[in-house]
């Protein structure tokens, strides 16, 4: 009986180690590809610059609005239009937006979304219908750009003939809980990236305006989509006209998101990403918990498994470190040691998302989401 237990533990630890090794190799390969794509776009010079409309939906965003708009106004791109929609904010977001009117920022007053629309999706539809640029660059308010960011994105899109490009931003504000303890949203999205379910960042994504409105019926087809940017990316990935880039230092796309906002986002997304399946949710939570406890179980069971336990932990560290190298401006080695803690956090958020949807308590910027089964 003891021998059977030891063999089972050996197989368990080995399986976790092999899975982590495969994940590490895959992340390394994908991140190198996404960063290489960004690098080759930088030198391109376009003789006929297409126009770009920057579209920002904002709801109760006074903490980030000024910094975001100031970064956009420093852009070196000449053919630029900036639209900001105030989505029925109850703070002074609208006043902050209007204060930039003298700089050419156009204020759009939002309204309560019609029945059958998610609030942000309706805001995106309103912005897209008001835009006039060849490209629309959708930005979250907590995202900032470098002066050359838009030029590089347009250059790359034109060279690669992409209908859509999205950018994984970097975090420069290292010593904050919202960075160090950030949930693993894009980590999992990248790890399971494929043509049929590509990774797409909601912080910054650029799309050809006419193509978007034509293919998605002026956003009508996306009105209840929890992740509209992912659905759009799926459509264009099939025709090889979607690209995903890592920002690193070159593209200069950064973001600062509060911990509470990150948790709210994961709670809103995780259960729909698992197709609203309780069985899948429990299975994923169990697998994440199994990875966390694996080294501890091995060491506790027998000192002969100490080397395997250490290998499991170090490989998990290496896997997460590969990801942090491209998402943090600094501190990746220190952050990677928190890998088990983040898995525990993600396990709790995965279960919390399912429970929140079942209890009809999930909200999006204060608006309840009451019909999750219809969102996909």
Q: What is the CATH number of domain 34-258?
A: 3.90.550.10
Instruction: Work out the pLDDT band at 262, boundaries 50, 70, 90.
Output: very high
Within 10 A of 215 (CB to CB), how many other CB atoms are there? 14
Sequence ranges of the chain with CATH classification 3.90.550.10: 34-258
Q: What is the pLDDT of residue 267?
A: 94
What does 118-167 look like in DSSP terms, one character per residue?
-HHHHHHHHHHHH--SSEEEEE-TTEE--TTHHHHHHHHHHHHT-SEEEE
pLDDT value at residue 48: 74
Maximum alpha-carbon separation in the chain = 78
Give pLDDT, residue 43: 47
Query: Angle at the Cα of 146 (from 186 to 77), degrees rounded to 5?
Result: 120
3-class secondary structure, 177:
helix
Compute the distance between CA of residue 203 and CA of residue 86 in angstroms, rounded to an integer. 17
**Mean pLDDT, the chain, as a whole number?**
89
Over residues 273-287, mean pLDDT? 95
What burial letters (b/e) apply to 82-107, b meaning 16+ CB within 10 Å? bbbbbbbbeeebbebbeebeeeebeb
What pLDDT is attached to residue 38? 67
CA 83 to each of CA 137, 162, 359: distance values in angstroms, whole numbers, following the listed order: 10, 23, 36
What is the pLDDT averaged over residues 346-360?
A: 95
């Amino acid at each position: 009986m003891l021998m059977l237990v030891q063999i089972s533990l050996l197989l368990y630890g080995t399986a976790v180690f092999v899975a982590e090794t495969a994940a590490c190799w895959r992340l390394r390969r994908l991140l190198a590809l996404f960063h290489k794509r960004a690098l080759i776009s930088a030198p391109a010079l376009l003789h006929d610059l297409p126009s770009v409309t920057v579209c920002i939906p904002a709801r109760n965003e006074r903490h980030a609005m000024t910094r975001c708009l100031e970064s956009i106004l420093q852009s070196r791109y000449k053919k630029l239009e900036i639209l900001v929609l105030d989505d029925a904010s109850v703070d002074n977001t609208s006043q902050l937006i209007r204060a930039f009117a003298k700089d050419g920022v156009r204020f759009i007053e939002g309204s309560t979304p019609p029945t059958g629309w998610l609030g942000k999706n309706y805001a995106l539809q309103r912005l897209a219908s008001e835009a006039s640029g060849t490209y629309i660059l959708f930005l979250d308010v907590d995202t900032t750009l470098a002066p050359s960011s838009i030029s590089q994105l347009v250059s790359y899109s034109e060279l690669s003939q992409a209908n859509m490009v999205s950018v994984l931003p970097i975090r420069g504000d290292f010593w904050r809980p919202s960075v160090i303890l950030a949930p693993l949203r894009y980590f999992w999205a990248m790890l399971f990236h494929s043509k049929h379910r590509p990774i797409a960042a909601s912080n910054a994504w650029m799309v050809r305006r006419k193509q978007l409105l034509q293919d998605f019926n002026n956003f009508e087809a996306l009105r209840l989509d929890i992740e509209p940017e992912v659905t759009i990316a799926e459509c264009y990935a099939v025709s090889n006209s979607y690209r995903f880039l890592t920002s690193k230092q070159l593209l200069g796309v950064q973001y600062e998101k509060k911990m509470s906002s990150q948790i709210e986002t994961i709670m809103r997304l995780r259960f729909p990403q698992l197709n609203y399946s309780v069985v899948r949710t429990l299975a994923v939570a169990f697998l994440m918990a199994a990875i966390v406890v694996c080294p501890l179980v091995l060491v506790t069971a027998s000192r002969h498994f100490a080397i395997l336990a250490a290998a499991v932990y170090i490989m998990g560290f290496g896997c997460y470190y590969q990801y942090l190298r491209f998402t943090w401006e600094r501190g990746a080695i220190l952050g990677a040691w928190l890998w088990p803690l983040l898995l525990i956090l993600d396990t709790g958020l995965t279960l919390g998302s399912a429970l929140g949807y079942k209890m009809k308590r999930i909200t999006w910027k204060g608006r309840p989401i009451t019909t999750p089964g219809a969102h996909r």
